[in-house]
Structure formats: C-alpha cells, structure tokens
Amino acid sequence: MLKRLARTKQSPWVCHQCLQHFRRQRRFNSTVAAAAAKARDPAPNPLYGLSASGKTDDDALRKVFDNASFWDSFKRASQKGTPTGIIGNKYLTHPQGFVDFVTVTIQRCNAVVQKVAAAQSVDDFKHMVKDLDKLSDLLCRVIDLADFVRGTHPDRKFQIMAMKAYQTVFQYMNQLNTTPVLHDQLKKASEISEVYDTWTEEERIVARILMEDFSRFGIGLDDKTRERLVDLSGEIADVGNEFVEGMAPEKLSLKFKSSRLRGLDPNLAKALTKWGETKISTMHHESQAVLRFVEDADVRQETYQAVRTANKPSIARLEKLLKLRVELAQTSGYETFAHMTLENKMARTPEAVNTFLKALYEDSRPAVLADLEELMELKRGDAHQDNFPNRINAWDKFYYTQKMLATMEGHYRQRTPDSLSAYFSVGTVLQGISRLFDRLYGVRFVPKETQPGEVWEDGVRRLDVISDTEGHIAVLYCDLYSRPGKTPNPAHFTLRCSREILPSEMEEMSHMQHRFSSPIEAATDGMPVSYNAERNSYFQLPTIALICDFSKASHSRPTLLNIHDVRTLFHEMGHALHSILGRTALQNVSGTRCATDIAELPSVLMEHFAFCPHVLGLYARHWETDAPLPMAALESRLAIDNRNQYSELESQILLCMLDQAYHSPIAADPNFNSTKVSHDV
C-alpha cells in the first residue's frame, strides 16, 4: 500500500542490456569505407537556443568529466561551501544522523496516521489521498536513501547505520500496510461522492492503487495472519539483502599453468602470474577474458563451470527466499508469488508470460540455430579443439563469437582497443545527451559544485537539471567510475520523488522543534525544492543517482567508452529522464513509480537515439582532435553487434523462463531444488 507491494523496496533499474559483459573490440581498415564515411560524416549541429551562459555550461559539462585539471579546480571550489549531509539531507552529516532521520520521520508518520484515523468531516476526507501519499513519501525518503547508502557508500560506518535505518522503517511500513483503519478510512472517503468528485485524476489513481495494495497485503485477514505477513515481509527483505550481498561462487579463484593460457592478453597474463602459475578470479573481468580469448577449451570449461557454480550458502539463501515468497503469496490469498506480482503488470498472469516466452523462443529458434552453425564452422576448422568437437558448448560461445567478429573485421588482433572509443569520451556522451534532451524536452544538464559532505565519494559529479521554462527541476548525481567494493552493475536510483509540499506540512513544521532555518527546509530535510507559481506551492525536486563502473580517466586522457558502454549510458539516462519529467503532485505516481515493465520503456527508447546520425552529430567527436565520427566505421561496427543478437535473446528468454519456474508452485515443494530446476529449464 504505502510502498508498492510489487516492488517491496525501490529497486535500482538494472536491465539485461546493462549487465552484458561481452565486449567486442575492433579495428577497421577499409580505405574505401573510410573515404565514403568522410563524405557522409555530419557537421556538428549548432547549439540552438543556448545563451552565452548556456554554452558555458555545455562546455563545462564535458570538461568536468573529460578534463582532469578542470575537474580538480571545480572540485576544490566545492570544498569551500557550507557543510551538508549526503545528497543535501542535513540529517546525514555523519553516520549517527540516520538515527535522528528515522526518529523524526516516524514521529511525522505517526502524526499523519492519527490525522487519517481521526478524519470525520467531508473536508477531512477530501485530503485523505494527499495525506496517505505524504505518509508514503516520508517512508520512502528513508528507505530509498538508506538502501542506496548501504550499498554504495564506501564508509562502513555509514553502511551499518543505513542498514539499521532501512530495517527499522521497513518494519514500521509493513505494520502500517496491515493497519485496518488506514484502509477503512480511504475506502470511506472513496465512497463519498462529495469527496471523490473533488479529487484530481492523480488522486483518484493513487486512491485506486492504495486500495489494491491494501487488499494485496491481506487487509481483510485476521490479526494473527496480518502479523505473519508483516514478519514475512521483513524476513524476505533481510534474506534478499543477504543473498545479494553474499553472492559468491564455490571457487573464488582458479590456478592454471601459465602455458595453458595461450591467447590471453600478455599484459593481463603477466599481472596474474607468479612462479609459472596464473591465478584467475572467478568474480572479476579476468574470467571473462579467459572465456573470450584462451585457446585451451579445457581451461575455458573449468572457468565457465566455476563462474556458474554458486557456493552452498548462496544456494541456501536463494531457496529460503523463494520459499518465503511462496508463503507470503499464499498467506495473502494467491496461488504463487508470480500470480501476486504479475497481477498489476501488463501480462497479468504467469500463464500469459509463459505463453509469450514460449512463442518468442520458437520464433527466434531458427535464427539461433543459424548463429550456432556459424560458430560450429569455426570450431570445425580450429586445430585446438578436442573438447566435445561436434557441438558448441557454453564455454565455447564467447570464444568462437569473438573469433567470428574478428573475422568479420578482417583481422585477428582481438585485443586491439576499439578505434571508435576515441569518439565517445564520457564527457562528450553526456554533453550529447544533454543537447538531445534540450532539443526534445527543453531540459539540460548543468554541472554544480557540491557542498562538503554532499557526495559519498570524491569522483561523484552533481548535475542540476535546468528547464527552459521552469528553472531548476531535478538533481542528478553521477557516480560513474570503478572503485574497490563498488557494484559493477549499472543502475538508476530514485533517491527522492517529486511531490507537492502541502500547506499543512508547512504549518506542522512551523510548530515543531527542528534544526532547520525555515519550515520548508524542515519539511524536506534541507534538500532542494522548486516553487510553482501557478499552484502557489513548493515541490520537492526529484533526486537521482546514476551508477556505472567505467574505468577512471588519467590526467592525459579521459575515460573512453565502447559501443556497449554508450548504450548503457543512454539506457540509464532514459530511466533518469523518466524521473526528471515525471514530476507529479503525488509521489506514488511520479517518475519510475509505475509497473516495472512500463518503467523500461523510456530507457529502451533512449537506446535508439544513441546511434541515430542526427544525434551523433551532437556529440560524437574525437576526444583529442575534435574530428567527427567516421559513420561508415560505426555502421560496420553496429552490423557486427547484430550478428549474435538472437543468441543473446535466447539467453534472456531462458533466464525469464527460469524466473517463472522459481516462482511457480514447485517452490513450495519440501524437496525443491533450485539447481535441478535451473538445469531442467
């Protein structure tokens, strides 16, 4: 109810496109193609509509990511401001600040619950949806930010306090989700025509959503059952976090005689070798390099199996999580967790999902077989193959795909850096996205100095989102570079949603003791707001974090992105755009707070802009010479990318089928074995 049951916590948006580790590096040597490309290369588009200050901002956007000296100077200016907390939340200047943040939040939530429970008049009921939405927002402010900090902040003390804050407020939220008086009062308000007729479309939609979620959380069940649901929800969250944070393979590393690793990059091999033995981590990129480049099929097989074999604690947590989800669903009146989760999604039922997946599988199968036959031809001609010679094994796929791509490029220097990367520095790509957003939506990115304590790591950049007509409308934190302990998975986090600040909140905070200089600061934890003149009210600004794992720049050269990385950045910016433009008065329907499948639409759409010729003209320039991108080379590169798209599609289909199987009735079987189910699929 108060936090959409379908997504028990605000999950970072991570797609299969974001998680592909397959890197295809290439070189192009066609002089004819190069000449043709030169003739077709578009001239850079002018910066339509940007003022002098806008052009300065546009230039600074590229430099804060690409120019180390500029960034050092920019960062020094940031250290001179007034100290603040993480993302401007003034409670979080130190780890113990989470205690105060939670205490004040629960105090404010209790006041809302009392107000809702005491509602009697028509005027009271007219404000019911806004009050419950405020309650939801107060909870999400803590849960979403704490969830982000515990998984991203490098300081262990912050991680521990964020975890405690998350657990406390999550448990409190689950208790509210099973509180009958909140459901009963909302139901009563919805049934009073004098009330319902005054509600906006947003309010009516949120009322319906909340009623459905109350029902999904077993609000009509007896007290003992509701208590069990609260306990189950908390246990599922805890086990889920343990599973994600504790995932590990059975073998953390493998050792091979260095002579068996022929084909591996010599520099990488040298770094990993000691006394004639090469140590390969099964959790890092070197295992992927082995699968792509090492000629010895037995080495690839052992590496593949080690990477794909989880340790026993990970498997135990997974199976415990799946059994708890079954119990939660069945206690709530659903056959399976899949039925409960899909009820408000596009497909509606597991049966519909499985029908779709099977049809998609059958439709793509001929193309998959054609892809595999191409790889098989390469394997037949490989003098090094004696490992299951008459079939393509899982550990063969990356290796022979890499060979096929190298053949298409007309060379076998497989480790040559992608020549196109020079045209896709992080700064130029973000500059291009900003210019694209300016042309399509009238919004652009402006680098902003941070205050001491505002970011969790020195390399994080803050971008303010500026609208042509509305001014400052959102805040975007870009944590794009690799560091020890950081997740390698790209993700978008909504740390705070859009919501209109009610006059009653300003009144409430003016009578409440707090540490802030004004009621509006107290109502928003000190974070940025915007004033809406038409409504004569304040709105809290969407606050977003974008996480990637790109290599760090050096002082002599910026970070350069390959084609996959560019797609990833456009994809994640699609999610960010959803949060930026989806600014509503009620947080339950703002930005990415919608059905999970719908939330992928803006991000997938953004991917299609990445390599459109008109968009490339906005940003694709050589980082050093400023020369335009050779279009013929890009077209050849994209054609290569498409060669194995059906095999990748099949892999995703099989993962989807496994997901459905894990959340089917078989998970309730006492003899449920997740490994066997995986093999069966």
The string of DSSP letters for 557-612 reads S--B--HHHHHHHHHHHHHHHHHHH---SSGGGSTT-S-HHHHTHHHHHHHHHHT-
| pLDDT computed for residue 415 by the predictor | 40
Residue 5 lies in a domain: no
Greater pLDDT, 402 or 319? 319
Residue 592 has pLDDT above 60, yes or no: yes
pTM, two decimal places: 0.83
The three-point CA angle 304-310-314 to 5° equals: 160
Percent pLDDT > 90 in the chain is: 66
Range of the domain at 289: 249-309
| pLDDT computed for residue 84 by the predictor | 92
Among candidates 222, 486, 435, which has minimal Cα distance to 333? Answer: 222
Residues, the chain: 681
Residue 28 has pLDDT above 80, yes or no: no
Kindly indicate the confidence band of residue 13, based on its pLDDT and cuts at 50, 70 and 90. very low
Residue 273 lies in a domain: yes
Among candidates 595, 488, 579, which has minimal Cα distance to 540? Answer: 579
| pLDDT computed for residue 419 by the predictor | 79
Four-residue CA torsion sign, 266, 271, 275, 281: negative
Four-residue CA torsion sign, 480, 485, 487, 492: negative
Structure tokens at 363: 């439709």
222 three-class SS: coil
Tell me: the pLDDT tens digits for 476-497?
999 999 888 888 889 999 999 9
Kindly indicate the confidence band of residue 636, based on its pLDDT and cuts at 50, 70 and 90. confident
Residue 287 lies in a domain: yes
| pLDDT computed for residue 51 by the predictor | 67
| pLDDT computed for residue 9 by the predictor | 39
Residue 363 has pLDDT above 80, yes or no: yes
Kindly indicate the confidence band of residue 7, based on its pLDDT and cuts at 50, 70 and 90. very low
- Residues with Cβ < 8 Å from 184, sequence gap 6 or more? none
Residue 26 has pLDDT above 60, yes or no: no
192 by Cβ neighbours in 10 Å (0-12 / 13-18 / 19+) ranks as middle
Residue 596 has pLDDT above 60, yes or no: yes
What mean pLDDT comes out for the span 32-40? 33
What mean pLDDT comes out for the span 514-530? 93
Tell me: the pLDDT tens digits for 73-117?
998 877 777 789 999 999 999 999 999 999 999 999 999 999 999
H/E run at residue 337: helix 337-342
Report the alpha-carbon distance of residue 521 to residue 223 in Å, rounded.
39
The maximal CA–CA distance of the chain, rounded, in angstroms, is: 84
H/E run at residue 437: helix 426-441
Kindly indicate the confidence band of residue 385, based on its pLDDT and cuts at 50, 70 and 90. low
What mean pLDDT comes out for the span 158-174? 95
| pLDDT computed for residue 378 by the predictor | 87
Determine contact, residues 589/206, Cβ cutoff 8 Å: yes
Kindly indicate the confidence band of residue 147, based on its pLDDT and cuts at 50, 70 and 90. very high
550 sits in the region (left: phi over 0; alpha: psi -120 to 50; else beta) called beta
Domain total of the chain = 1
| pLDDT computed for residue 241 by the predictor | 87
Complete edge-to-edge strand list for the sheet that includes strand 529-532:
499-501, 537-540, 529-532
Residue 21 has pLDDT above 60, yes or no: no
- Residues with Cβ < 8 Å from 29, sequence gap 6 or more? 410, 411
Determine contact, residues 474/456, Cβ cutoff 8 Å: no
458 three-class SS: coil
What mean pLDDT comes out for the span 48-61? 79
Residue 324 has pLDDT above 50, yes or no: yes
Structure tokens at 105: 């939040």
Residue 289 lies in a domain: yes
Residue 624 has pLDDT above 50, yes or no: yes
Report the alpha-carbon distance of residue 292 to residue 401 in Å, rounded.
8
Residue 6 has pLDDT above 70, yes or no: no
Kindly indicate the confidence band of residue 19, based on its pLDDT and cuts at 50, 70 and 90. very low
Report the alpha-carbon distance of residue 358 to residue 364 in Å, rounded.
10
Residue 22 has pLDDT above 90, yes or no: no
Residue 414 has pLDDT above 90, yes or no: no
Residue 679 lies in a domain: no
What mean pLDDT comes out for the span 263-284? 89
Residue 434 lies in a domain: no
Residue 40 has pLDDT above 80, yes or no: no
Residue 268 lies in a domain: yes
Annotated active-site residue in 505, 572, 607, 650: 572
Residue 192 has pLDDT above 90, yes or no: yes
| pLDDT computed for residue 329 by the predictor | 94
Report the alpha-carbon distance of residue 139 to residue 108 in Å, rounded.
10
| pLDDT computed for residue 382 by the predictor | 78
Residue 384 has pLDDT above 90, yes or no: no
Q: State phi, psi for 273 to the nearest 5 degrees.
A: -105, 135
What mean pLDDT comes out for the span 540-556? 92
Kindly indicate the confidence band of residue 443, based on its pLDDT and cuts at 50, 70 and 90. very high
| pLDDT computed for residue 641 by the predictor | 77
What mean pLDDT comes out for the span 449-456? 95
What mean pLDDT comes out for the span 153-160? 96
Percent pLDDT > 70 in the chain is: 90
| pLDDT computed for residue 80 by the predictor | 77
Catalytic: 572? yes
